[in-house]
Amino acid sequence: MNSMHILLHQPPMCFYRHSSTSILCPPTPLARIWFSLHHDSGRASMGSTRRRVLLVEDVEINRVVVRRLVSELNVMLEEAENGKIAVDFIKQGRTYDLIFMDKEMPVMNGLEATKQLRSLGVTTPIIALSGDCLPCDRDLFIHAGANAFQAKPLSKIELVRILTEYGLSISHA
Amino acid sequence: MAATALKEQLNGLVNSMFAEGLLDEQFQQLQMLQDGSNPGFVAEVVTLFCEDSERILTELTKLMDQALVDYSKVDAYVHQLKGSSSSVGAQNVKLACIQFRQFCEENNKEGCVRALNVVKHEYYRLRSKFETMLQLESRIQAYENKQQN
């Protein structure tokens, strides 16, 4: 188990409410390891060939289309309707092999979510998505920590290219 | 065969929608995602688009009727509609939304009212053709099911 695996698995705070101490406290390294061993939900695909991708997108139709695009690929897709939900997923200990991050979303937009994910130590590749391909948007996202910027809507060819580029094995399901 | 004639009618309709600018290549992407394992995919997406669009247009109409328009809310809804129309391949609706957002940015009420009317016009024009398209698909499916049985 490598240190990155341990780092990314942040046990939920409620775990610590049930510990011997009655106050919330940051997880000890031992607690993190215990949590990682016993809580499989949110684990990245260690020993599994099915890669986990997080789609952060507020417009339902866009999620339906991407869901259909990945249905034939060997990829497990999770969805978040806004940036805050995505950040919360990470804080809950979920890990991903790739994140698609929409730009404009309610509650928390993609730029802010990207910044927060990077500040949490998430090194997962983040692909920014936007219907507007303005150079200033691209620069802002890259500066925030995104790895690449892709125009929406996402086609199957582009999706496969991106998944392949970031090392996700695309054998058909 | 009746199914063949219906298919020709359907192809003609869809081709005319492309020719008129109602649809763009993204709709072809959706058609390619429809297959034996997902026979109703296009219908699902089109239906979702129409439901979503009508909800958004209702909200936009209410917002634009206000004495003091909240342009950030208007823009948020137009952004949603632009996104969904882009995903469906609803080209003219998408272009109308782009224009609408520019007026929102300028806080231009008159421009926004005009833009909303254009969006509505393009949407209802598209919806009418989508309804015919889905009816044809449904009839074709019914014929093919009957032949199999």
Tell me the domain boundaries of chain B: 23-31+41-148
A86 found inside a domain: yes
| pLDDT, mean of residues B127-149 | 90
pLDDT of residue A48: 56
CATH number of residue A93's parent domain: 3.40.50.2300
Rounded to the nearest angstrom, the gap between the alpha carbon of residue B125 and the centroid of all alpha carbons in its chain is: 9
Print the domain residue range for A23.
Answer: 4-38
| pLDDT, mean of residues A31-38 | 44
Q: pLDDT tens, B68-127? A: 999 999 999 999 999 999 999 999 999 999 999 999 999 999 999 999 999 999 999 999
CATH level 3 topology of B23-31+41-148: Four Helix Bundle (Hemerythrin (Met), subunit A) (1.20.120)
pTM, full prediction: 0.79
pLDDT of residue A49: 67
pLDDT-based confidence at A8, cuts 50/70/90?
very low
* The one-letter amino acid at B41: F
Q: Is the preceding omega at residue A153 within 30 degrees of 0, hence cis?
A: yes
Asked if the Cβ–Cβ distance from B29 to A64 is below 8 Å, we say no
Say if residue A150 is in the same domain as residue A67: yes
Say if residue A60 is in the same domain as residue A16: no
Q: How far apart are CA A4 and CA B9, in angstroms?
A: 58
Q: Could you tell me which residue, A65 or A172, shows the higher pLDDT? A: A65
Q: Across the interface, which of B44, B48, B82 has its CB nearest the CB of A131?
A: B82
pLDDT of residue B59: 98
Say if residue A94 is in the same domain as residue A157: yes
User: Which letter does DSSP use for residue A26 in this model?
Assistant: P
- pLDDT higher than threshold 70 for residue A14: no
By mean pLDDT, which of A167-171, B22-26, B76-80 is the weakest? A167-171
User: How many residue pairs from chains A and B have C-beta atoms closer than 8 A?
Assistant: 48
| pLDDT, mean of residues A114-139 | 92
Say if residue A98 is in the same domain as residue A63: yes
Asked if the Cβ–Cβ distance from B87 to A155 is below 8 Å, we say no
Say if residue A59 is in the same domain as residue A142: yes
pLDDT-based confidence at A45, cuts 50/70/90?
very low
Domain count, chain A: 2
